[in-house]
Amino acid sequence: MAKKTTEEVTEQVVERVAERKFEEEIGEELAPLRQQLDSMSSALNQLQSSQQQLGSVGQSSMMQNEQASQLLQQMQQFRRQAQSQQQESFQQLQQTVQQAAQMLGSVGQTLQSFSILNQMTQQIDQSQQQLKQLSSQQYLQNQQNQRQQAQQGNSSIQH
């Protein structure tokens, strides 16, 4: 199983947060629409009840037409509001997706910066090691030169 990168994990977290936020916002926006739907359902039930109760065909027909017209108007209003809220929800979703994309871009830049800084630190560590080695070699070379000079000085004194 392939290991997920930090960017992939972050992207998944941001997507889940955006989905939850979107679902909450839609739930809040649909509450008034549900109330209106309940109101229309109630009006329809009243219409059906009135139709059964009224005995006279003329009065019943007139009232039914009036109630049917009111119900039709309520349904048209409900449809307009639903379309408006759907469009608003879609715009909010687009904004959320854009914000998530921007956040992922920032995360990517940050990760890239960390990577570059890590490489620089490794290069500095390598340079320090090389300097230590050179210094150590130079020290040993100096000591060896001093011994040779001391031996040459001793041998010239003996001759």
What is the structure's pLDDT at 133? 93
Could you give the CA distance from residue 10 to residue 7 in angstroms, rounded to a whole number?
Answer: 5
Instruction: Measure the N-to-C terminal CA separation of the chain; round to a whole number of Å.
Output: 80
CB 50 within 8 A of CB 63: yes
What is the structure's pLDDT at 132? 93
What is the structure's pLDDT at 68? 82
Could you give the CA distance from residue 108 to residue 84 in angstroms, rounded to a whole number?
Answer: 36
CB 22 within 8 A of CB 96: yes
| Consecutive H or E run containing 110 | helix 57-158
Torsion angle defined by CA atoms of residues 124, 126, 131 and 134, in that order, rounded to the nearest 10 degrees: -170
Over the stretch 128-140, which tens digit does the pLDDT of each residue have? 999 999 999 999 9
Over the stretch 73-96, which tens digit does the pLDDT of each residue have? 888 888 888 888 888 888 888 888
> pLDDT tier at 141 (50, 70, 90 boundaries)?
very high
Token output for 14: 């941001």
Mean pLDDT of the chain: 82
Q: What is the mean pLDDT of residues 120-133?
A: 93
Over the stretch 7-44, which tens digit does the pLDDT of each residue have? 777 778 888 887 888 777 777 777 777 788 888 888 87
How far CA 49 is from CA of 39, 46, 55, 106, in Å, comes to 15, 5, 12, 62
Three-class SS state of 28: helix
